[in-house]
Amino acid sequence: MASRIRNILTMEPTEQTVTVEGWVKTKRDSKNLTFLEITDGSSFRGIQVIVDHDAEGTFDHLDAATTGSSVRIKGKLVASPGKNQSVEVQATQVDIIGEAPADSYPLQKKRHSFEFLREIAHLRPRTNTFGAVTRVRNALSFAIHRFFQEQGFMYIHTPIISASDCEGAGEMFQVTTLPMEKLPTQDGAVDYSRDFFGKQASLTVSGQLEAEIYALAMRDVYTFGPTFRAENSNTSRHLAEFWMIEPEMAFCTLEGDMELAEEFIKYILKYVLDHCPEDMDFFSKWIEKGVKESIQQVVDSKFQHVTYSKAVELLEKADRSFEYPIGWGEDLQSEHERYLTEEVFKGPVIVTDYPKEIKAFYMKLNEDNKTVRAMDVLVPRLGEIIGGSEREDHYDTLLKRIEEMNLNPEDYWWYLDLRRYGSVPHSGFGLGFERLVQYVTGMHNIRDVIPFPRTVKNAEF
Ligand code: ATP
Ligand code: MN
């Protein structure tokens, strides 16, 4: 097997024979020489190949070595006199494996718009930007698993099809085998008892409730899987199919949750800086000025803590106006979050103890009966990156909260059971994976950080 270009680029050049396999990125001809840049996705840089037409070797069909064609090249690895690379290959044999006719291949040298590239999602991984996004996304995925595995967390596969009626129904995709043209009905309503699961089912919007089940047996667990939301909104931050990371820890209060979130964020950001330096340089130069430095600052920082009530006070005192008014009881909008982290705390900050009315029913009620043990981690440039909480672990309080929110306790029988049998303080948080990739790369549209985005009216690839 030929080496990946990433490995060849780090070899000591001793005129040894190497085989380069990949796709032609650029081709330049001078009198007797042809310069090819070959890439294979393994690194940001390609490798330079020089074909000397007078040298001994087989260079048939060199004309067909156009941008996008696939090639196998044998040659000698030598030190490069050029300042852009330390090694290059002097070709002794060039084989064209698959042509890419220049008159029809859509990815020519000039820069293409991201909108155009979305229409050719089958070719966009070959561009600099999408190559870099793909490598960073891969590094982040690996770092996330590595972090939790090193800490002894169990990876739990929570279901993708969910038949419990627990979640916010409005945003869910229904899963059914009922014939759409002729739905069975009973008393004028669809008869779901004749559906595949004997009841209504949907694609999951979160794995948290199921993760709690496993946390109350395995102690520390995490999920990292696909989630689905039928968001009918055309924003640069929402997908219909995205990935979510949700750790859940038993014998853990909000303080432990905050500690883990800080350690986790720093670990995965540092991993990317250490393992994808060239990709990060590219993003910092061409996509979002200074993104690399801003990531480094988070790694080096100490996360500060502030309660929601105090944060609202700070916002009310701010000598500037916001588009959305703020007052106790209002949810923080991203302009408020950014003001807090960028202007007030000048670094990451964790906001805790939100009013119960603006948070989910399962968050643990404080003694004041007004706020819950929630925490949002805010970072500069973005605002909220993580949302989490200590979960309500008292049966009576949880039941009361479910009733207060006009939810049906019967739908939550197993969730309530966890508070009847061996209940224990437990906490966790959620992180949207694509939002994280956006934050790390500075990419402006979430459709450009997932290989095949699913959004309203769009699922071509
Ligand atoms: P938002 O207000 O941005 O729609 P949310 O409050 O609906 O987010 P949660 O229910 O808390 O989000 O989901 C947890 C995390 O999942 C969010 O913090 C975010 O990172 C991510 N997320 C939520 N909805 C989407 C989506 N449609 N596409 C991509 N990521 C999402
Ligand atoms: Mn939402």
Residues 46 and 160 in one domain: no
Q: For residue 174, what are the β-bridge partners?
A: 202
* Domain of residue 74, CATH code: 2.40.50.140
Residue bearing the CA closest to ligand 1, atom 21: 432
The CB of 447 under 6 Å from ligand 1? The reply is no
Q: Is the pLDDT of residue 97 over 80?
A: yes
Does residue 191 lie within any of the structural domains? Answer: no
Average pLDDT for the chain = 95
Report how far residue 377's alpha carbon sits from residue 391's, in angstroms, rounded to the nearest whole number: 17
CA distances from 188 to 152, 185, 240, 313 (A): 52, 6, 31, 53
CATH number where 346 lies: 3.30.930.10
Q: Are residues 364 and 325 part of one domain?
A: yes
Q: Is residue 184 part of a domain?
A: no
Counting ligands in written order, the one closest to the CA of 242 is 1
Indicate the SS3 state at residue 331. coil
**CA-proximal residue: ligand 1, atom 24 (nearest):** 238
User: Is the pLDDT assigned to residue 170 strictly greater than 80?
Assistant: no
Quick check: CB of 332 below 6 Å from ligand 1?
A: no
Distance, CA of 397 to CA of 421 (rounded, Å): 15
Percent of the chain with pLDDT over 70: 98
**What residue type is 448 in one-letter code?**
D
Q: Is the pLDDT of residue 168 over 80?
A: no
- Cα 135 to Cα 345: distance, rounded to the nearest angstrom: 32
241 C-beta closer than 6 A to ligand 1: no
Residues 56 and 149 in one domain: no
Residue 173 Cβ < 6 Å to ligand 1 = no
Q: Report the alpha-carbon distance of residue 346 to residue 340 in Å, rounded.
A: 8
d(CA 436, CA 443): 10
363 lines ligand 1 (CB under 6 A): no
Which is the closest atom of ligand 1 to the Cα of 384?
18
Helices (H) and strands (E) in the chain, counts: 12, 18
**Closest C-alpha residue for ligand 1 atom 20:** 432
pLDDT of the residue at 165: 62
pTM of the model: 0.96
193 falls within a domain: no
Q: How confident is the model at residue 60 (pLDDT cuts 50, 70, 90)?
A: confident
Give pLDDT, residue 20: 98
For 147, 171, 223, 325, the CA distances from 155, given in Å and listed in that order, are 11, 26, 6, 41
Residue 130 lies in a domain: yes
Ligand 1 lined by 231 (C-beta under 6 Å): yes
pLDDT in tens, 430-448: 999 999 999 999 999 999 9
Q: What is the mean pLDDT of residues 324-330?
A: 96
Q: Is residue 62 part of a domain?
A: yes
CA distances from 59 to 19, 219, 320 (A): 15, 62, 67
The pLDDT value given to residue 166? 59
- pLDDT of 56 reads 82
Q: How far is the CA of 432 from the centre of ligand 1 (A)?
A: 6
Task: Name the helix (H) or strand (E) containing 388.
Answer: strand 383-390
Identify the pLDDT of residue 169: 56
Q: Which atom of ligand 1 is nearest to the CA of 233?
A: 27
Which tens digits make up the pLDDT trace of 328-373?
999 999 999 999 999 999 999 999 999 999 999 999 999 999 999 9
DSSP, res 289? T
Q: Are residues 81 and 133 in the same domain?
A: no
Q: At what angle do helices 433-441 and 128-150 cross, to 10 degrees?
A: 120
Q: Are residues 220 and 294 in the same domain?
A: yes
**Alpha carbons 406 and 420: distance in angstroms, whole number:** 21
Q: Are residues 331 and 217 located together in one domain of the fold?
A: yes
246-279 pLDDT, tens digit each? 999 999 999 999 999 999 999 999 999 999 999 9
Give the 3-state secondary structure of residue 356. helix
401 and 438 assigned to the same domain: yes
- Is residue 245 located within the same domain as residue 391? yes
**280 and 383 housed in the same domain:** yes
The pLDDT, as a whole number, for residue 167 is 57
Task: Output the pLDDT for position 38.
Answer: 98
Q: Are residues 79 and 152 in the same domain?
A: no
For ligand 1, say whether the CB of 242 is within 6 Å of any of its atoms: yes
Instruction: State whether 89 and 215 are in the same domain.
Output: no
Pair (304, 156) in one structural domain: yes
Structural domain contains residue 140? yes
CB atoms within 10 A of CB 288: 17
The domain tally of the chain equals 2
Q: Is residue 106, in this structure, part of any structural domain at all?
A: no
Residue type, 118: R
Predicted pLDDT of residue 1: 67
**Mean pLDDT, residues 53-71:** 89
The reply to whether 153 falls in a domain is yes
151's torsion region: left (phi>0), alpha (psi -120 to 50) or beta? alpha
Inter-axis angle of helices 291-300 and 433-441, nearest 10:
110
Share of residues in the chain with pLDDT > 90 (%): 92
- Report how far residue 442's alpha carbon sits from residue 203's, in angstroms, rounded to the nearest whole number: 29
Direct distance between the N- and C-terminal alpha carbons of the chain, in angstroms, rounded to an integer: 31
Domain, as residue range, for 141 = 124-169+205-448
For residue 234, what pLDDT is reported? 87
Index of the ligand 1 atom closest to the CA of residue 242: 29
